[in-house]
Amino acid sequence: MSKSNTILYLDGVSVSFDGFRAINNLSLVLDKGEMRAIIGPNGAGKTTMMDIVTGKTRPDEGEVFFDGQVDLTRHDEAEIAMMGIGRKFQKPTVFESHTIEDNLMLALKGPRSIFPALFHRRSAAEARQIDDILGIIRLGDKRHEQAANLSHGQKQWLEIGMLLAQDPKLLLVDEPVAGMTDAETEETARLLKDIARDHSVIVVEHDMHFVRELGVKVTCLHEGSVLSEGTLDFVSADERVVEVYLGR
C-alpha cells in the first residue's frame, strides 16, 4: 500500500500493557481530507490508537506515518502537535481557571517557546482569529467567562475550538458528543462536518445516531484490530460487528 496521499498511515501496529494487547496488528489508512468515524465496544483500543498517533504511547511494533513521510514513533507529543495533529480528549479538558478567550489564545498557532510567550502582545490578526473561532463554536457571548462555568457540552465545543485555533491538518476527536443533549449533538455533527471541509478528521464515537449524521466511512475496532470497515450500513449489517456489540 502506498503511503503517498495519506494523512495517516498505520501498518501492523501492536502495543501491549503488562501483557495485555491493547492494539493488535492494527492497520488503518486515512486519506488527505477524509473524515472517518471509529466505533467499537469499550476496550477496543480506540483511545490507545489515539495515544499512539499523538505520541503519548510508543508502539511495540508497526509503522505510524503522518502526511505520508513523517514517522510519528520518533516524536513526542509537543512535536507531533506542532506538526499539525490536534486532539480532543474523551473527557473535555480545557483550562478551567482561564477565560474562554484565553483558552483559545493559548491554543492559537504560533511560536511555542517561553520568551515569546513572556513578552507576547495580542495582535489584531490574533484577535480576529479568536473572534472567528468564537463565532464557529458559538461561545462569543461568553468570551470573558471562566471556562469552569461552561456546561459539559460547551466545554466540548471550547475544546474543539482550541483544536481549530491550533490549525492542525488532522484532528482526532474522542467522543465529542458524550453527555450532550440531542440538539447539541446535532449541532456538533454540523460543526464537525464544517471542519471536515478543510481538515482530515478522525472521530471516535459510541453514539450511532451521531455517526449516521456524519455520513462518513466507518471503521469498527475490536480487541485492538480492525473488525470491519465501510459505510455505516455495511458495518452494522456485518455479522461479527453485531455479535461484538450485542455479546455472544
Partner 1 sequence: MITGRFFAAGADRRIAITIFILLAAAIIVPLLNLAVSPTSAFYVPAYIVALTGKYLCYALLALALDLVWGYCGILSLGHGAFFALGGYAMGMYLMRQIGSRGVYGNPILPDFMVFLNYKELPWFWYGFDHFWFAAIMVLAVPGLLAFIFGWFAFRSRVTGVYLSIITQAMTYALLLAFFRNDMGFGGNNGLTDFKDILGFNVQADATRSALFAASAVMLALAVFVTWAIVGSKYGKLLMAVRDAESRTRFLGWRAENVKLFAFTVSAVMAGIAGALYVPQVGIINPGEFEPSNSIEVVIWAAVGGRGTIVGPIIGALLVNAGKSWFTGVLPELWLFALGGLFVAVTLLLPKGIIGMWDSWRGNARALRAASVVEEAAAKVGVASATSKPARSPARNPGEWSWSDPEPQAAE
Q: Which of 18, 121, 141, 197 binds partner 1 (CB under 8 A)?
A: 121
What is the nearest approach in angstroms of partner 1 to the Cβ of residue 49? 15
d(CA 200, CA 195): 8
Q: Are 105 and 161 in contact (CB under 8 A)?
A: no
Does the protein bind partner 1 through residue 144 (CB under 8 A)?
Answer: no
Does the protein bind partner 1 through residue 95 (CB under 8 A)?
Answer: yes
Does the protein bind partner 1 through residue 71 (CB under 8 A)?
Answer: no
Q: Which of 26, 38, 72, 162 binds partner 1 (CB under 8 A)?
A: 162
What is the nearest approach in angstroms of partner 1 to the Cβ of residue 135? 21
Q: Which residues of 57-82 are buried (b: 16+ CB within 10 A; e: fewer)?
A: bebeebebbbbeebebeebeeeebbe
Query: In this complex, which beta carbon is closest to partner 1, that of residue 89 or of residue 245?
Result: 89
Does the protein bind partner 1 through residue 78 (CB under 8 A)?
Answer: yes
- Name 120's Cβ contacts closer than 8 Å, sequence gap at least 6: none
- Name 155's Cβ contacts closer than 8 Å, sequence gap at least 6: 92, 94, 147
Stretch that binds partner 1, among 38-46, 84-92, 132-140, 215-223 (CB under 8 A): 84-92
Question: Quick one: cell of 17?
Answer: 500493557
Q: Are 202 and 195 in contact (CB under 8 A)?
A: no
What residue ranges bind partner 1 (CB under 8 A)?
Answer: 54, 56, 77-78, 81-82, 86-87, 89, 93-98, 102, 105-107, 112-114, 117-121, 162, 166
